[in-house]
Amino acid sequence: MPPMTEITANFASHLSYMSHLQPHALAVLCPEGRDARGRVAYTHYTYGQLDTESDRIAQALSTLGIGPGVRTVFLMKPSLDFLTFAFALFKIGAVLVAIDPGIGPKNIAKCMAEVRPTAFIGVPLAHLLRRLMGWSRESIKINVVAGSRYWTIDRFLSGTANNSRISRRLPADLSEGTPAAIVFTSGSTGVPKGVLYTHGTLHEQVKALRQTYAIQRGEIDLTTFPHFSFHSLALGVTTIIADMNFLQPARSNPQRISEAISSFGVTNMFASPALLDALGRWGSQNGVKLASLKRVISAGAPVGVTVIRRITQMLEPGVQVFTPYGATEALPIASIGSDEILADTCRATEEGQGVCVGRPCGDIEVYIIGITDEAIEKWSEDLCLSVGEIGEIVVRGKGVTREYCNRPESNTLAKIPDPNGGTFHRMGDLGYLDAKGRLWFCGRKSQRIVTDSGVYFTVPCEAVFNTHSNVFRSALVPLVVDGKTNPALCVQLEGKVKRTLRKRTREELLRIGAKHPHTRAIEKILFCSDFPVDPRHNAKIAREKLAVLAQRRLT
- Nearest of 365, 406, 444, 397 to residue 195 by alpha carbon: 406
The pLDDT confidence band at residue 468, using thresholds 50, 70 and 90, is: very high
Q: Is the dihedral of CA 333, 534, 349, 352 positive or negative?
A: positive
9 assigned to some structural domain: no
CATH number of domain containing 477: 3.30.300.30
Indicate whether 204 pLDDT > 90.
Answer: yes
Residue 230: which pLDDT band, with cuts at 50, 70 and 90?
very high
pTM over 0.85: yes
Residue 188 in this model has a pLDDT that exceeds 80: no
Calculated CA dihedral for residues 162, 164, 169, 172, nearest 10 degrees: -90
Could you give the residue ranges of the DSSP H alpha helices within 372-457? 408-414
Which alpha helices (DSSP H) does 134-267 contain, by range? 152-157, 199-213, 229-234, 254-264
Residue 167 lies in a domain: yes
Please give the single-letter amino acid code of residue 505: T
User: Peptide bond preceding 171: is omega within 30 degrees of 0, i.e. cis?
Assistant: yes
pLDDT the model gives residue 4: 67
The pLDDT value given to residue 162: 44
Going 445 to 549 to 106 to 180, the CA torsion angle's sign is positive
The helix-helix angle for 273-286 and 305-313 (nearest 10°) equals: 50
Q: What is the mean pLDDT of residues 292-308?
A: 96
| pLDDT exceeds 60 at position 377 | yes
Distance between CA atoms of 331 and 364, rounded to whole angstroms?
9
CB 74 within 8 A of CB 143: no
pLDDT at position 365 over 60: yes
Task: Give every CB contact of residue 137 below 8 A, 6+ residues apart in sequence.
Answer: none
Beta-bridged to residue 533, according to DSSP, are 541
Per-residue pLDDT at 159: 43
What does the alpha-carbon distance between residue 467 and residue 350 come to, in Å, rounded to a whole number?
7
Range of the domain at 530: 453-554
Whether the CB-CB separation of 413 and 392 falls below 8 Å is answered with: no
What are phi and psi for residue 26, nearest 5 degrees? -65, 130
CB 477 within 8 A of CB 545: no
Q: What is the pLDDT of residue 458?
A: 98
pLDDT at 3: 62
Least confident of 37-51, 138-152, 259-273, 446-460: 138-152
pLDDT one-digit tens code per residue, 58-96: 999 999 999 999 999 999 999 999 999 999 999 999 999
Q: Indicate if the pLDDT at residue 296 is higher than 70.
A: yes
CA dihedral angle for residue 295, residue 28, residue 30, residue 278, rounded to 10 degrees = 10
CB 333 within 8 A of CB 360: yes
**Number of structural domains found in the chain:** 2
**Minimal CA–CA distance to 176: which of 7, 350, 422, 369?**
7
Domain end, chosen from 147, 170, 198, is at: 198
In a domain, 39, yes or no: no
The mean pLDDT value of the chain amounts to 93
H/E element, 397: none
pLDDT for position 164: 40
Q: What is the pLDDT of residue 537?
A: 87
Strand-pairing partners, residue 97, are 73, 182
Segment holding 345, helix H or strand E: none
User: What does residue 234 show for φ and ψ, rounded to 5 degrees?
Assistant: -65, -25
The segment with the largest mean pLDDT, out of 19-23, 106-110, 249-253, is: 19-23
Which of 176, 198, 220 is at the close of a domain? Answer: 198
Greater model confidence, 162 or 462: 462
Question: What sections of 374-424 are H helices per DSSP?
Answer: 408-414
**Distance (Å) of CA 392 to CA 179, 298, 499, 533, 552:** 28, 23, 39, 23, 31
Q: What is the mean pLDDT of residues 258-271?
A: 97
Q: Is residue 177 part of a domain?
A: yes
Angle, helices 273-286 vs 254-264, to 10°: value is: 80
Question: Is the per-residue pLDDT at 218 higher than 60?
Answer: yes
106-110, 287-291, 377-381, 495-499: range with lowest mean pLDDT: 495-499
SS (H, E, C) 517-528: CCCCCCCEEEEC
Structural domain contains residue 355: no
pLDDT at 196: 97
Number of neighbours of residue 20 by Cβ within 10 angstroms: 16
- pLDDT score for 73: 96
**Candidate from 121-130, 161-170, 202-211, 330-339 with smallest mean pLDDT:** 161-170
Q: How far apart are the first and last CA of the chain?
A: 71
Angle between helices 502-514 and 458-465 (to 10 degrees): 120
Residue 149 is assigned to a structural domain of this protein: yes
Q: Alpha-carbon distance 329 to 121, whole Å?
A: 24
H or E element, residue 456: strand 454-456
Model confidence at 367: pLDDT above 50:
yes
* Residue 528 lies inside a defined structural domain of this protein: yes
Asked if residues 311 and 296 have their Cβ atoms less than 8 Å apart, the reply is yes
Please check the confidence at residue 514 and state whether its pLDDT lies above 50: yes
Higher pLDDT pick, 495 / 491: 491
Domain boundary among 172, 198, 224: 198
Q: What is the CATH number of the domain that holds 154?
A: 3.40.50.980
Mind listing the pLDDT tens digit for each residue in 432-441?
Answer: 999 999 999 9
User: Which of 8-12, 191-195, 482-486 shows the lowest per-residue confidence on average (mean pLDDT)?
Assistant: 191-195
Is 546 a domain residue? yes
Q: What is the pLDDT of residue 150?
A: 53
pLDDT for 2 equals 59
Q: CB neighbours (10 Å) of residue 211?
A: 13
Q: What is the pLDDT of residue 158?
A: 44
- Residue 102 confidence (pLDDT): 84
